[in-house]
Amino acid sequence: MKICIYGAGAIGGYLGVQLARAGADVSLVARGAHLAAMRERGLTLLAGEETHTVHPRCTDNPAELGVQDYIIITLKAHSITGVIEKMQPLLGPHTRIVTAVNGIPYWYFYKHGGQYENSTLESIDPGGRQWREIGAERAIGCIVYPATEIEAPGVIRHVYGNNFPLGEPSGEITSDVQRLADLFVAAGLKAPVLDRIRDEIWLKLWGNVCFNPISALTHATLDVICTDPATRALSRAIMVETQGIAETFGVKFRVDVERRIEGARKVGAHKTSMLQDLERGRPMEIDPLVTVVQEMGRLTGIATPALDSVLAMVTQRARIAGLYDGISAPTDPRALAVA
């Protein structure tokens, strides 16, 4: 089974080590100092008291790797469109694309049913390029729950978690998704195959859509956001708007708003990924975590005043810092009205 991990950063590197240790034929696409270190010394995973080093094939030129059975995309979602052409040599007639990314994936409305079937979303897939050129029909959904970080070039530290729920857009338990799940389990990971993968996508996004931009604006950690009355109330307002949109698309939430906020509070003094990106001078995932929810609200005719305000502010914050390269979110309240 040939697997390419496209974007072998913290999560991609963690997966690469675990899958290689399980015997998979793993290739990693990376760049810069991280790639150079992996080529020279291998890829090392620090997990608790254990240290594991593997020596998978590593490259910044996907054309060297040939056709793959699975491509696991672990890039930041806003980076995917920029690598579509480089990804083409990896694609064969039976290649599956596993979207291990935050937020709404490009294939969301594939085999969705109803009036939105086969719709594309401009905020995450400008011009529908991912849908057409990678192929929605190739997609397998994947939600990433572990926390990992690059400790040094070529060295990944596992902080917590090993859960990667998987699912076909159609909800079927196909041989492709089952084979992948079995490999993940053999690699010491949890990989439940879900028949409603979109529910799980929204459950994770439910927190990201509010906690991430609020943290980037306030520099507060999760425990502070969820206990301060003002930021907790703002988070709740955005989550209520988001829930209304998701339920319009048939999504079912297995917890309520208060339980979801409490779950985040219990994580403690954790910096969200958006705040970490801001502090490190990296582009923030505004569009796949926030703008896309606004776009889906407009699609359904549901107003999102709380989300609109926070999105306008965090987008401006990112522009000032030179960390925004997504679509242009309107700030004029008249432009935010749903026609």
* DSSP conformation class of 130: I
Print the SS3 string covering the chain.
CEEEEECCCHHHHHHHHHHHHCCCEEEEECCHHHHHHHHHHCEEEEECCEEEEECCEEECCHHHCCCCCEEEECCCHHHCHHHHHHHHHHCCCCCEEEEECCCCCCCCCCCCCHHHCCCCCCCCCHHHHHHHHHHHHHEEEECCCCEEEEEECCEEEEEECCECCEECCCCCCCHHHHHHHHHHHHCCCECCECCCHHHHHHHHHHHHHHHHHHHHHHCCCHHHHHHCHHHHHHHHHHHHHHHHHHHHCCCCCCCCHHHHHHHHHHHCCCCCHHHHHHHHCCCCCHHHHHHHHHHHHHHHCCCCHHHHHHHHHHHHHHHHCCCCCCCCCCCCHHHHCCC
Query: Active site includes 76?
Result: no
Distance, C-alpha 177 to centroid of its chain = 18
User: Is residue 107 within 8 Å of residue 139, measured between CB atoms?
Assistant: yes
Of the residues 2, 86, 111, 204, only one is catalytic, namely 204
Supply 22's token pair: 């399980």
Helix (H) or strand (E) holding 146, with range, is: none
Q: Which residues partner with 287 through β-bridges?
A: none
Instruction: Return the active site residues.
Output: 204
